[in-house]
């Protein structure tokens, strides 16, 4: 509101009493502040010579600080991205950052501030992998194993008190950390801030957080951060005389607040390239000068009067930031001084910030400087220079990589870990099967929630296995229903199933109760479907068998086999998640997306007469089945296969599947690994290997993400 009139594009301002005097000057407009910073860094690099001074003046320093630091480093000291190259940057930036954002201090605060021994998984992993602790510094391989295990189990949080002695034995470095940390977080006493400051130091010492001790080699920045940290601990201790005793969490939060308030400015040598704010630029002179963020809302800046002083008094005394008039005059003077203080000057502004359009400051319009196009300046980033340093070579990926003799022996051994999932991967995309079963690559991306579709599926499988273990047949199911014992039995098996997986729902009793209700409703609905079937007996549940096909000794696990009239068998696979591809037609495709039931049908003796997905879903419980036409199975509404496959009989269909599955197994055995997803949209979306196969880079439409520019 103070500046409303000044910021209007056509508001008449008194002319700026500044002349460029024919000195080289330019005005650039960029899409956003990132492009502006990249261009500025390249402009600086072009002019950086011994004996020359270069200034970058940034009215909005807080927004630009990190961007400029990154871009200047990339252009002026490109080797800084390589590990172990922590040379002092060849520029100074005037505004410091909060001490709390220094990585070393962040690690310390993450250890001290949790409310209790339950730590969110991402934070727990961040701490374990911190280079400032032994788990990330000296035992990274062990920590990465632990990370893989934790992500596979997918808990949202780690309860330090559930980290068992067995875990401590398997992961000794993490065990030492967890034991000491748990003890500390469970402290319930109140102590004075001074005593807490001592305890914090002792804990960090025990956990191997670096201090100024000789065994740690701190670089200059870390050493300065450590010194600043000690001062913050002193500040915390100084509260002892003015506050009562407090709990550990309160005290740690107070320390976090102190470090957040403390500006950390690394002391470096005076450099010829200076990045300063408008105010600090007073009295400085440069050979080359770039003034960034010259948009209307920054130049002049918005007034920001001190709320504790009477505003008229501030205006009268012309206190900085007290009024729009004061800011306007100040900015005018600064621009005038900046123009006079250099031999070459450039101004720039971003056309938009955070999606909001920005206009050039009216102050600069008075300079009568036309907007120029920023010249093409090559990048000096390591990756760009590597690409430019030699002609690009064309490389065609091989589509096969023959397995070694050892691998072939392994494929045929009882230890081979491949199962129906291997053939499914080979069918969906050969590279996916290669990555997961020959490279043993695993997708370690973290789930957003700890109890997702996978965990729900496990519970449904387990509860149904327990249910049919007791009930065994259609006849018993009907009896259970008529005696009104179905609900009680369901509740019982669900509780048993939940109890089998304590790691899934650690310490969440209310959620367990909700999940029990949800499962009871889901399974009751499903059993309604089962009850209207023709009589059957459940012959097998979770049957494990090995079967050799195409030179692969596969490990198979069949959810359920039902016996029906005339000794016919039906193979059943429970499905709980949504899948766009799930339809019986996928069983007849050249590359079947769900080959597990055809595979089991080929593997079993005697051959079953039907295969069926049991879709145990709340909205749409249903059977998806294919059956021998001679088997009356109307309740499953089996799909006919004659039109899709040219097979006239069930026996021919099983042979048809066997041929296709043998071909898939043979492709894997011979090392076929082409990057060839059956349906790129869906298959690649559900696959975690796109950074390994680089399918997006192979595509003509591939564009590097913005951050990579």
Instruction: For ligand SF4, give the closer residue by CB, 303 or 595.
Output: 595
Nearest to 179 by CA among 169, 187, 168, 191: 168
Q: Residue 415 CB, nearest distance to ligand SF4 (Å)?
A: 25
Structure tokens at 13: 């301002």
Cβ neighbours of residue 93 under 8 Å, at least 6 residues apart?
65, 68, 69, 275
Site string for ligand SF4, 370-409 (x = CB under 6 A): ----------------------------------------
Q: Does 432 interact with ligand SF4 (rule: CB under 6 A)?
A: yes
Instruction: For ligand SF4, give the closer residue by CB, 276 or 429.
Output: 429
Place of tokens 């003799």: 405
CA distance 462 to 457: 9
CA distance 233 to 701: 54
Contact 273, 328 (CB under 8 A): no
Instruction: For ligand SF4, give the closer residue by CB, 32 or 682.
Output: 682
Contact window for ligand SF4 (CB under 6 A) among 113-121, 189-197, 427-435, 632-640? 427-435
Q: Residue 708 CB, nearest distance to ligand SF4 (Å)?
A: 19
CA atoms within 13 A on the CB side of 333: 10
Question: Which residues on neighbouring strands pair with residue 557, listed in sequence order?
Answer: 544
Place of tokens 């951050």: 707
C-alpha separations of 679 from 441, 454, 664 in Å: 21, 22, 17
What would the DSSP string read from start to end of 338-393? HHHT-SEEEEEEESEETTEE--B-HHHHTTT--EEPPPP-----HHHHHHHTSPPP
Contact window for ligand SF4 (CB under 6 A) among 65-73, 181-189, 425-433, 542-550? 425-433
DSSP state of 394: P
Place of tokens 């990132």: 34
Q: Residue 422 CB, nearest distance to ligand SF4 (Å)?
A: 14
Instruction: For ligand SF4, give the closer residue by CB, 294 or 435.
Output: 435
In the chain, the N- to C-terminal Cα span, in Å, equals: 38
Binding test (CB under 6 A) with ligand SF4, winner from 177, 429, 519, 627: 429
Structure tokens at 481: 């229903």
The dihedral formed by the CA atoms of 310, 315, 318 and 321, expressed in degrees to the nearest 10: 80
Instruction: For ligand SF4, give the closer residue by CB, 354 or 700.
Output: 700
Instruction: For ligand SF4, give the closer residue by CB, 270 or 681.
Output: 681
CA distance 531 to 478: 6
CA distance 33 to 38: 9
Q: Residue 683 CB, nearest distance to ligand SF4 (Å)?
A: 4
Q: Residue 429 CB, nearest distance to ligand SF4 (Å)?
A: 3
Contact 255, 200 (CB under 8 A): yes
Q: Residue 592 CB, nearest distance to ligand SF4 (Å)?
A: 15
Instruction: For ligand SF4, give the closer residue by CB, 251 or 683.
Output: 683
Please state whether 283 falls in left (phi above 0), alpha (psi between -120 and 50) or beta.
left
Q: Residue 421 CB, nearest distance to ligand SF4 (Å)?
A: 14
Q: What stretches of 129-171 show up as alpha helix (H) in DSSP? A: 134-137, 140-153, 165-170
C-alpha separations of 314 from 65, 303, 459 in Å: 30, 11, 68
Q: Strand, coil or helix: what is 101?
A: helix
Nearest to 293 by CA among 41, 32, 28, 58: 58
Site for ligand SF4 in 668-697 (CB under 6 A): 675, 677, 683-684, 687, 689-690, 693, 695
Q: Residue 300 CB, nearest distance to ligand SF4 (Å)?
A: 52
Site for ligand SF4 in 41-70 (CB under 6 A): none
Cα 230 to the center of its chain, rounded Å = 33
Q: Residue 424 CB, nearest distance to ligand SF4 (Å)?
A: 11
Instruction: For ligand SF4, give the closer residue by CB, 162 or 678.
Output: 678
Q: Residue 454 CB, nearest distance to ligand SF4 (Å)?
A: 18
Instruction: For ligand SF4, give the closer residue by CB, 94 or 674.
Output: 674
Cβ neighbours of residue 510 under 8 Å, at least 6 residues apart?
none
Contact window for ligand SF4 (CB under 6 A) among 198-206, 207-215, 231-239, 426-434? 426-434
Instruction: For ligand SF4, give the closer residue by CB, 123 or 442.
Output: 442
CA distance 476 to 464: 15
Count of positions on this chain that bind ligand SF4 (CB under 6 A):
12
Instruction: For ligand SF4, give the closer residue by CB, 163 or 689.
Output: 689
Site for ligand SF4 in 556-615 (CB under 6 A): none
Q: Residue 341 CB, nearest distance to ligand SF4 (Å)?
A: 55
Instruction: For ligand SF4, give the closer residue by CB, 171 or 431.
Output: 431
Contact window for ligand SF4 (CB under 6 A) among 86-94, 157-165, 428-436, 465-473? 428-436
Site for ligand SF4 in 637-666 (CB under 6 A): none
Q: Residue 514 CB, nearest distance to ligand SF4 (Å)?
A: 35
Contact 304, 60 (CB under 8 A): no
Instruction: For ligand SF4, give the closer residue by CB, 180 or 678.
Output: 678
Q: Strand, coil or helix: what is 350?
A: strand
Q: Residue 676 CB, nearest distance to ligand SF4 (Å)?
A: 7
Contact window for ligand SF4 (CB under 6 A) among 283-291, 363-371, 392-400, 429-437? 429-437
Question: Which residues on neighbouring strands pair with residue 328, listed in sequence order?
Answer: none
Binding region for ligand SF4 (CB under 6 A): 429, 431-432, 675, 677, 683-684, 687, 689-690, 693, 695
């Amino acid at each position: 509101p103070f500046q409303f009139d000044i910021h209007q594009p056509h508001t008449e301002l008194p002319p700026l009493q500044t002349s460029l005097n024919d000195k080289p000057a330019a005005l650039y407009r960029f899409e956003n502040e990132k492009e502006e910073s990249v261009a500025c860094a390249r402009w600086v690099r072009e002019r950086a010579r011994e004996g020359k001074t270069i200034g970058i003046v940034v009215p909005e320093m807080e927004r630009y600080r990190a961007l400029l630091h990154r871009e200047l480093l990339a252009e002026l000291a490109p080797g800084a991205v390589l590990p172990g190259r922590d040379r002092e940057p060849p520029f100074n930036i005037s505004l410091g950052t909060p001490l709390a954002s220094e990585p070393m201090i962040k690690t310390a605060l993450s250890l001290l501030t949790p409310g209790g021994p339950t730590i969110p998984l991402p934070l727990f992993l961040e701490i374990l992998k911190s280079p400032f602790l032994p788990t990330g510094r000296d035992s990274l391989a062990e920590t990465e194993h632990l990370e893989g295990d934790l992500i596979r189990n997918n808990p949202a949080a780690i309860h330090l008190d559930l980290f068992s002695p067995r875990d401590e034995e398997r992961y000794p470095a993490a065990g030492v950390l967890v034991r000491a940390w748990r003890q500390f977080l469970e402290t319930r006493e109140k102590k004075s801030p001074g005593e807490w400051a001592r305890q914090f130091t002792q804990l960090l010492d025990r956990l191997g957080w670096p201090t100024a001790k000789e065994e740690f080699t701190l670089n200059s920045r870390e050493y300065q951060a450590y010194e600043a940290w000690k001062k913050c601990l002193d500040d915390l201790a100084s509260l002892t005389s003015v506050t009562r005793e407090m709990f550990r969490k309160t005290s740690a939060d107070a320390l976090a607040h102190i470090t957040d308030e403390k500006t950390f400015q690394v002391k470096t040598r005076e450099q010829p390239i200076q990045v300063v704010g408008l105010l600090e630029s007073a009295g400085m002179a440069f050979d080359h000068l770039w003034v960034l963020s010259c948009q209307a809302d920054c130049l002049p800046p918005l007034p920001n009067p001190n709320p504790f002083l009477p505003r008229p008094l501030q205006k009268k005394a012309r206190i900085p930031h007290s009024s729009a008039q004061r800011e306007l005059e100040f900015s005018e003077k600064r621009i005038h001084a900046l123009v006079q203080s250099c031999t070459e000057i450039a101004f720039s502004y971003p056309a938009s910030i955070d999606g909001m359009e920005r206009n050039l400051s009216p102050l600069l319009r008075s300079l009568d400087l036309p907007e120029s196009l920023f010249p093409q300046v090559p990048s000096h980033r390591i990756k760009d220079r590597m690409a430019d340093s030699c002609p690009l070579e064309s490389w065609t990926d091989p589509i096969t990589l023959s397995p070694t003799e050892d691998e072939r022996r392994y494929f045929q051994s009882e230890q081979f870990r491949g199962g129906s999932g291997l053939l499914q991967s080979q069918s969906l995309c050969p590279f996916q099967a290669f990555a997961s079963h020959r490279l043993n690559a695993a997708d370690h991306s973290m789930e957003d929630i700890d109890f997702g579709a996978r965990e729900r599926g496990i519970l449904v499988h387990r509860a149904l296995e327990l249910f049919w273990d007791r009930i065994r047949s259609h006849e018993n199911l009907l009896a259970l229903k008529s005696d009104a014992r179905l609900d009680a039995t369901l509740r019982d098996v669900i509780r048993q199933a939940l109890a089998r997986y304590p790691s899934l729902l650690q310490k969440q009793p209310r959620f367990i109760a909700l999940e029990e209700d949800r499962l009871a409703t889901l399974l009751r609905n499903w059993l309604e479907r089962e009850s209207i079937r023709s009589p059957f007996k459940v012959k097998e549940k979770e049957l494990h068998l090995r079967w050799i096909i195409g030179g692969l000794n596969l490990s198979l696990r069949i959810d359920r086999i039902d016996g029906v009239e005339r000794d016919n068998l039906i193979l059943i696979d429970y499905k709980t998640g949504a899948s766009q591809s799930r339809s019986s037609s996928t069983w007849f495709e050249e590359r079947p997306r769900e080959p597990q039931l055809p595979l089991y049908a080929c593997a079993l003796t005697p051959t079953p007469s039907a295969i069926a997905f049991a879709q145990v879903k709340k909205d749409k419980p249903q059977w998806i089945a294919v059956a021998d036409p001679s088997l009356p199975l109307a309740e499953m509404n089996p799909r006919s296969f004659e039109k899709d496959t040219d097979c006239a009989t069930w026996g021919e269909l099983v042979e048809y599947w066997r041929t296709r599955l043998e071909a898939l197994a043979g492709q894997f055995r011979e090392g076929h690994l082409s990057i060839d997803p059956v349906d790129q949209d869906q298959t690649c979306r559900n696959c975690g290997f796109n950074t390994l196969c680089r399918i997006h880079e192979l595509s003509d439409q591939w564009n590097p993400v913005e951050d990579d520019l």
